[in-house]
A and B are shown apart, each in its own frame.
Chain A
Amino acid sequence: MNDYLTPLWISLKTVLVTTAITFILGIAAARWMSRYTGKIKPIIDGIFILPLVLPPTVVGFGLLLFMGKHGWGGKFLALFNTSVVFSWPATVIAAAVMSFPLMYMTTKGAFEQVDTNIENAARTLGASEWRVLYSVTLPMAWPGVLAGTILSFARALGEFGATLMIAGNIPGRTTTIPVAIYFAIVDGNMKQADTLMIIVLCIALASLALLAYLKKPKPRDRGLIVNPVASDIIHAGRKIDSPP
């Protein structure tokens, strides 16, 4: 029974670390690109979104070339006598690269919806760029940021192709749930496949429920209060009756 569930713990660990990474990198990239107006904007934008449109195996192969012994990434890591290919960190790298575009696109769209005047108002009130981001932009774009986080979480949980290419299938180390389900079915181990499938279904439903709960309208979105408070009436009366 324990062996059945090992992929679950690996997957959870991978997905949590991945979501944290894409959350931060996605917000940073979205913030930068939503204000950047240089000529190469479409090129940078394209590179950020590329993993979404490429077949995952192609991305995985690319990562393998980059992170392998002869790639730049691999050579860089070799300086520290380490390598990531076919180890647990590789599952994070694959999932992060594949889920980043979803976080980036959704967050960038949400940032672009924020009225520049409101951010500018914060600046004239003495706020640093950092304070503008966490006290104005992020809270205002929160539903979009949240949706991006849940989407990239789900994408990371389902990551299969790139993970298999760069992390392989090493039971107890790199076998995540999707990889485990595939090999369980290949081996005819239907009991493990069924168990993992139900677990994935539960996680997916739970994350959707969480999204719905967090997106619930707040009291501030209720709109105009029609019943005036006392000061409205007193104020209006004073202004009309007494000369300035």
Chain B
Amino acid sequence: MLKVEINRTLQGFNLDIAFSVNGEVLGILGPSGSGKTMTLLCIAGLLDPDSGFIQLNDRVLFDSTKKLNLPPKDRNVGFVFQNYALFPHLSAGKNIAYGIRNRSREEVNHRVKVLIENMGLEGLQNRYPQQLSAGQQQRVAVARALAPEPDILLLDEPFSALDSLTKEQLERQILDLRQFYKGHIILVTHDLAEAYRLSSRIAVYDAGKIAQCDLKQKLISSPVNQKVARITRFRNFMDGVITDIKDQQVWVTVPELGTNVKVAANGHKNLAINQSITIGVRSEHIQAVTAPGQNILQGTLSSVVENLASINCYFDLKTNKDTCYCIETAFPKGAAPTLIDGLNYYLYLPPEQIVIIAN
């Protein structure tokens, strides 16, 4: 169990976070400059928090009230840096062996051999970092961090410098890590899909604070605010007022569009009539239908972007003000209607796919 509660101010930026990790992969997701890497540096002891508390399993690493601050070398934390930070003057094998101390030469060699096999680096141990591809360097960096059997592994945007094919392979390798590494893992990334594939829980960072920390399924199905909803790829938001609640059905008036929308409550508590809320819909959940009806909006097709697996469309909706409201949809290829710019389409928002976001 890793428990972190830290506060650190640096040049006008304030990091103030608290979370815990227990034998799982925690994804830290957020835009650049939101304090993700800073958190990892604090856990590893490479940056001192102004105040707070860090405990790893039964060891206290940092406690500002007791003026306790273990140096990085005594924390037993594995760190994979964004640029891998391999020792350029040591071969891959020596890089991996660097952190293994107080063992006989046979034990060190054996441990290096096991790691090289686990990370698929056979035949590369005598090469220097400059002689390895980016993907190989990353695997050496992970093997090196795991060599001293750390209690926790910190991965700082480990895939950001890789092409997509290498990235896919390495992601699977990180998933496979769980077979031989049982410690906690924290993965820092700005890619939602990557965080979703690799971690079980995700903490969303926003300007030095944790906006939401939840199981990944919960995070994408019920974001707590619009920031989180945007980071988790909700594209369409409408401001509305609750007019009626019954049988797990919530009726929401969207004044801007002059329409009523039916929303499934999805176990949402603390909803009240006349409460103003925001509703959000993912672009892939909006369907094109042929006739008007409940939860169906009429929009004019303004532009089309073809993607690999879907066709993204942007529709302009009439509002009762002079403004224009734009809806983004993503139709699966093959299931898209005939798309002609300037034509009107009926768009259906399925009630069970609409999320209610408290204002």
List the interface of chain A (C-beta within 8 A of B). Answer: 115, 117-118, 120-128, 135-136, 139-140, 219-225, 229-232, 234-236, 238-240, 244
Q: Given known contacts A136-B87, A239-B169, is B81 in contact with A117 (CB within 8 Å)?
A: yes
The residue in B101, B131, B176 that gathers the most chain A C-beta atoms within 10 A of its C-beta is B131
Task: Evaluate contact between A223 and B175: CB separation under 8 angstroms.
Answer: no
21 A–B contacts from the bound complex (CB under 8 Å): A115-B85, A117-B83, A120-B72, A121-B81, A121-B85, A121-B144, A124-B72, A124-B145, A125-B144, A125-B148, A126-B73, A135-B98, A219-B128, A220-B130, A224-B133, A225-B127, A229-B123, A231-B120, A231-B122, A234-B122, A239-B120
Bound-state CA distance A231–B73 (Å) is 33
Q: How far is the CA of A188 from the CA of B122 in the complex (A)?
A: 72
Asked if B161 is at the interface (CB within 8 A of a chain A CB), the reply is no
Q: Does B49 contact A (CB under 8 A)?
A: no
For residue A132, which residue of chain B has the nearest CB? B73
Given A120-B85, A220-B130; 10 other pairs, CB 8 A cutoff: A118-B86, A123-B45, A124-B73, A139-B89, A220-B128, A229-B122, A229-B124, A231-B120, A231-B121, A236-B169
CB contact between A223 and one of B72, B123, B131, B145 (< 8 Å): that residue? B131
Chain A residues within 8 Å of B44, by CB? 120, 124
Which label, helix, strand, loop or mixed, suits the secondary structure of the A interface?
Answer: helix
- Interface mask (B74-99 → A, CB under 8 Å = 1, otherwise 0): 11111101010111110100000011
Interface assignment of B324: CB less than 8 Å from any CB of chain A:
no
The complex places the Cα of A139 from the Cα of B94 at a distance, in Å, of 14
A39 → chain B closest CB, angstroms: 17
| Cα(A124)–Cα(B88), bound, Å | 17
Give A142's nearest chain B residue, CB to CB: B89
Q: How large is the interface on B (under 10, 10 to 19, 20 to 34, 35 or more residues)?
A: 35 or more
Question: Complex Cα distance A164/B52, Å?
Answer: 60
Cβ distance A222 to chain B, nearest Cβ, rounded Å: 7
Interface membership of chain B positions 127-159, coded 1 if the CB is closer than 8 angstroms to chain A and 0 otherwise: 110111100100000001101100000000000
Q: Say yes or no: is B337 at the interface (Cβ < 8 Å to chain A).
A: no
Counting CB contacts under 8 A, is B46 at the interface? Answer: yes
Complex-state Cα separation, A11 to B99, whole angstroms: 45
The complex places the Cα of A229 from the Cα of B125 at a distance, in Å, of: 11
**What residues on B are CB-neighbors of A121 within 8 Å?**
79, 81, 85-87, 144
- B332 at interface, CB cutoff 8 A: no
In the complex the two chains form, is A140's CB within 8 Å of B89's CB? Answer: yes
A144–B121 alpha-carbon span in the complex (Å): 33
Write the chain A residue with the least CB distance to B74: A126
Q: Which of A126, A222, A232 sits near B131, CB closer than 8 Å? A: A222
CB distance from A154 to the nearest CB of B (A): 27
The reply on B71 being an interface residue by CB < 8 A is: yes
Given A123-B46, A123-B72, A244-B172: A117 touches B85 (CB 8 Å cut-off):
yes
